[in-house]
Chain A
Amino acid sequence: MTEVDFEEILIAPLEDIVKKIADAIAYAQTELDRSALELQKNLKQRYPELAELGYLVTWYHMPEIDVELKMVMHYEREEGKFRPFWAPFNAKYKTHFSFEAEGTSVIKIKIRPIPPPVSLTIPK
């Protein structure tokens, strides 16, 4: 039997896995903003004439984030009772557990930006 690095078939609660993904998304958007800010600063330093004209660098944002995770559910004992834990379905998992792709669960997450809630005023 092949040696398995259990980090590669990590089994964790779903909230922990999803939290890491959300963290990565937040980090990506923060970095995009930071990069735009840096560019704006550089523009002011290197091309002050353009900055004076009000030239703004392009800011990027993610209009939609689609995440699709293929996972396998495990029931592991925790504090006396079984709880669902999840493992990403990958080549290592497939080989080690001889598990077929048809048996995997799918988690689909769509994240997108929305404008602030519209405020309605009821006239008298």
Chain B
Amino acid sequence: MRRKDNIEKIIKEYEKLKEVVKEKDLTISDLKKRLETIERNLKTVMDENTALKKALAEREDIIKRLLDEIQKLKATKQEIRAIPLDELSETLKRTLSSLTEKIEKIPKREGLRYIVDSFVMEIRSGIHADREGIKLVQPREITPEALSTIRFSIKAIPTIKIAKEK
């Protein structure tokens, strides 16, 4: 009888242990799943890290280039490409005189001679003012909307030759 009790006890113990093992198996399986998820997340994070490192290197390159550009701009800032307004009237004078000189070469017939009847110069340029006065700044360096307009208009008037008294 005592032996039978012992066997039953052992069987019960065994059943209990089986339950525990089953529970542990479930826990292990759950842990495995969690580990897989963690590994996947880690891989994603590592990939992101690599991508961020690459992006950072690119940004650093851009920053370096921009800093170089700033240095260049600082260097050229000292030298604004500008001309005084007088230079424009000089251009106008030179242009008109060379134009007239060439027009004179057009063959004359029946006393008719060619003249520059009108000359209009509509200048689009930037304006810069400093201690030396107003200057015109390179139009290419400014947006078209910000450009000023200077309009020179010259018109020829007929002349009358007055003879001496007879």
Contacts and interface: CB of A to CB of B under 8 A. Distances in A.
B112 interface: yes
Contacts of B112: 61, 113-116
Contacts of A117: 158-161
Nearest to A104: B124
Q: Is the interface of A mostly helix, strand, loop or mixed?
A: mixed
Given A84-B91, A105-B124, A111-B116, A75 B136 contact: yes
Interface stretch (B18-26, B34-42, B60-68, B80-88): B80-88
Given A26-B105, A75-B81, A84-B91, A102 B144 contact: yes
A73 B162 CA distance: 43
A112 B115 contact: yes
A48 interface: no
B132 to A, nearest CB: 12
Nearest to A108: B120
Contacts of A23: 102
Contacts of A102: 124, 144-145, 147
Contacts of A16: 98
A15 B98 contact: yes
A83 interface: yes
A46 interface: no
A29 B107 CA distance: 7
A53 to B, nearest CB: 22
Contacts, number: 159
B102 A19 contact: yes
B1 interface: no
B5 interface: no
Interface in A49-76: 59, 61, 64, 72-75
B122 A33 contact: no
A73 to B, nearest CB: 6
B99 A109 contact: yes
A118 interface: yes
A104 to B, nearest CB: 6
Interface string B35-79: 000000000000000000000000000000000000000000000
Interface string B114-127: 11111111111100
Interface in B97-117: 97-99, 102-103, 105-107, 109, 111-117
Contacts of B2: none
Interface of A: 13-16, 18-19, 22-23, 25-26, 29-30, 33, 59, 61, 64, 72-75, 82-84, 97, 99-124
25 contacts: A13-B94, A15-B99, A18-B95, A19-B102, A25-B103, A25-B114, A30-B106, A72-B140, A73-B136, A73-B139, A75-B82, A75-B137, A82-B83, A84-B88, A103-B144, A105-B121, A107-B119, A108-B118, A110-B116, A111-B115, A113-B114, A114-B113, A114-B117, A120-B163, A124-B165
